[in-house]
Structure 1
Amino acid sequence: MSVIPRIISVDDHVIEPADVWTSRLPAAYVERAPRIHIAPKGEMTLVEGAWVEAPGDGDEMAAWWHFEGRRYQIKRMVACPGMPPEEVTMEGVTYDDIAPGCYDPVARVADMEANHVEASLCFPNYPRFCGQLFSEVEDRTLGRLCIEAYNDFMIDEWCGDSAGRLIPLCVVPLWDPQLAAAEVRRNAARGCRAVAFSELPSWLGLPSIHTRHWDPFFQACEETSTVLAMHIGSGTKTVTTSPDAPTVVAANLIACNSVASMVDWLFSGVFDRFPGIQLLYAESQIGWIPYFVERADDTWQTHQWAQGEERSQRPPSDYYREHISACFFKDTVGIDLLDRIGEDNVLFETDYPHQDGTFPRSKQVAEELFGHLPQPTINKIARGNAIKLLGLDFEP
């Protein structure tokens, strides 16, 4: 009888403690550091693909991050492990309202233990999924210091005493590929093997991957075996159909971000220049992959006129198999197509503590999704592929 081994989740999240930046920035910058204020809960609206929010005037309080004139309330939907869907809202919360495992590493490991999870890779929450908040500030020194402080927190505090069970994921200065490369190397020397990057940097107003702009950064990732981890929505925008479409439309279409990103990478030429580079798509699910890889191969062959002098010598499917992994936790279609996707390219996640997350039923969810597969395949999806990709010190 097949069994689900202890899971290594490659997409979870940390709700940053209130003192991450105030306790780590140099004295001259502490007053400008991101900090928490308790203020009335506020409404939020989606404007041109981005969320806008401000405190209200009621009696119910929320924890608000304040930074450089920006305000963001910690919301129930991003800190609700195990909560029934009917109880999940977009309302603001305080730290007292949420599970300690959201922000405390000891409590997180305890929740992992209860959830059949051996190790977890955690993306940022407040700085957004690739830390782009700190690349948007005008004072680049402040932005760099905030990035370094976050990475110090991630490696030393969040992951430091977990015996490898919390896996570090760093962020970098996106405005300067040389600085980004230096930060990758700084953190790789401390055992960090993953860096958060944007699915679609041009959506952040940055150069695309079709330029050579990012080559110093990509070179550092290749040299240090650092995986580029791209969380769904890390282009900041969400795809929707119209300004008056309900938010659930964007929730369904957000996989389009990852689709666009993967096709971008397959035709970018980056894999030819950096044959050791590895990508991880997080929370993208996997069922869409076979069609778009097949379509990329077809257009590579039939649309040669549209590719110019940079046309690669190999079909896109080769690059996909060798360089791209994706993780899932809600995708029966993807499992049905696993032979087309490739069992070596698929990893599992729990998305703790977000509303979509599978806590505390991750083992049962895994059993329902892929527990019928051969044991070697189960082992790869649940943990083996993550161990190989991230160079983890666990038994496969």
Structure 2
Amino acid sequence: MDIPRIISVDDHVVEPPNLWLDRLPAKYQDRAPRVVREKVRMSLVGGYTFETGVPDGVECDVWYYDDLKYPFTRLSAAVGAEVVKNEPTTFDQIRKGCYDQEARLADMDANHVEASICFPNILPRFCGQTFLERDDKELALLCVKAYNDWMIEEWCAGPGKDRLIPLTMIPLWDVDLAVAEVRRCADLGSHNITFSENPVPLGLPSVHSGHWDPLFAVCEETDTVINMHIGSSSKMPSTAPDAPFIISSTLTFQNAMGSVLDYTFGGVFDRFPDLRVAYSEGQAGWLPYVLERADKLWEERLLDDTGFGSKLPQPPSTYMKSNIWYCIFDDETAMANRDVIGIDRLTFEVDYPHADSTFPHTKDVAERMAAKAGLNDHEIYRFFRGNAIELYHLDRYHGITE
């Protein structure tokens, strides 16, 4: 089976220890994000806790940023580990491709991957929530801009140009600053931002409020894709406080499902018809039922004027199949229902360097997926490569074509 060079729409980069120290003014050196190696003790009993400065503890690289202390754990850089555990680690113990461009490109070559979009990973979290949570917003804004400059000028430059595709952050706490940062980064060559799947748990206005419309407008204007990773709301679904974590892991798709409905019934795509939204790691096996249910309710309540229905001029599925792309890595149900979802809506992820990553066997995994689903040559091309080119306009900005 001929699998084309893969374009992964969801990978991560472990932020190098000196990323912010090298780019922030000297007066912030004692408060900027930085790494200190310490002996720590971690516990998952009764909730997640950790202590630093423990003489008989485990060596760990701990991120410090203003009042924040955050230990580096193996789950954030799992590739290469024989057994993946939520345990302390250091940069010396992880695979170099997690944070070093040359090593990452070598790993991509060995893994049949041509291009990759990398989300933030540890200190910022998936859409920069850490900077939203700090009190000093002047420093936080400098940190966001420093990360974006590093992403564009270092991680995605030189040998990585047109293979590592820029994905930048916005200052979540101020929509006007966010608009300005989208424009600045687009001028520098980044046409992708990472955003929260649901801003409300972060203490921010909802998609329905109209607060984010200036952001959606500038993304449409600058041809910028909004990328939303599972967990970027800092809240994961669960059933009970004492439920095992595996239940939450099984239910993660609910975050993407809820966000899709927010954007669709919130009229975002009706107001911004050229806006493109991509969901990372949300899978898509749940989508056929949502398409059906949303359309039926829309049709049943067309004449309602009490707020029980929806004022969308077109069926909800229209927007879900024209403005939204979905990302999968092991979703056999989505593959079996690709005719309902639309094969042109599905993209593929490697998820390097997380525990779910298919590295270094991604090509073998792709072959098995395609064979089991009975994909034809056109579907294989679209799923593993072509849809990503179309979604991110990689032919226009990065010279990546068929």
Please, what TM-score do these two structures have when normalized by structure 1? 0.95
Partner Cα distance (1:73, 1:294) in 2? 44
After superposition, residues 190-269 of structure 1 pair within 5 angstroms as 190-269=188-267
Give the letter aligned to residue 111 of structure 1.
D
Partner Cα distance (1:72, 1:298) in 2? 46
Partner Cα distance (1:41, 1:378) in 2? 47
Q: Provide Cα deviations, 1:113-134, integer angstroms capped at 9, x if missing partner.
A: 0000000000001211111111
Q: 2:185 aligns with which of 184, 187, 190?
A: 187
Partner Cα distance (2:253, 2:268) in 1? 22
In structure 1, the partner of 2:390 is 388
1:56 Cα deviation from its structure 2 partner = 6.7
Identify which range, 57-66 or 122-131, moves more after superposition.
57-66
After superposition, residues 87-98 of structure 1 pair within 5 angstroms as 87-98=83-94
Q: Provide Cα deviations, 1:259-314, integer angstroms capped at 9, x if missing partner.
A: 11111111011111111100000011111111112111122122454646961111
Give the letter aligned to residue 143 of structure 2.
C
Contact 1:14 1:102 in 2 (8 A): yes
Contact 2:202 2:233 in 1 (8 A): yes
In structure 1, the partner of 2:24 is 25
Partner Cα distance (1:56, 1:244) in 2? 30
In structure 2, the partner of 1:278 is 276
Percent sequence identity is 47
Q: How many residues align?
A: 391
Partner Cα distance (2:238, 2:384) in 1? 32
1:241 Cα deviation from its structure 2 partner = 1.2
In structure 2, the partner of 1:11 is 10
1:46 Cα deviation from its structure 2 partner = 9.2
SS in structure 1 at match of 2:201: helix
Q: 1:130 aligns with which of 119, 124, 127?
A: 127
Contact 2:301 2:309 in 1 (8 A): no
In structure 2, the partner of 1:144 is 141
1:323 Cα deviation from its structure 2 partner = 0.3
1:184 Cα deviation from its structure 2 partner = 0.7
For the structure 1 residues 133 and 389, does the alpha-carbon distance in structure 2 shift closer, same or farther, using more than 3 Å as the test? same
Cα-Cα RMSD? 1.7
Q: Provide Cα deviations, 1:198-251, integer angstroms capped at 9, x if missing partner.
A: 000111110000011111111110001110000001100111111111111111
Task: Establish whether residue 359 from structure 1 lines up as the match of residue 359 from structure 2.
Answer: yes
Partner Cα distance (2:208, 2:91) in 1? 42
**Mind listing any 5+ residue stretches in structure 1 that lack a counterpart?**
none
In structure 2, the partner of 1:332 is 332
Partner Cα distance (1:181, 1:46) in 2? 42
SS in structure 1 at match of 2:154: helix
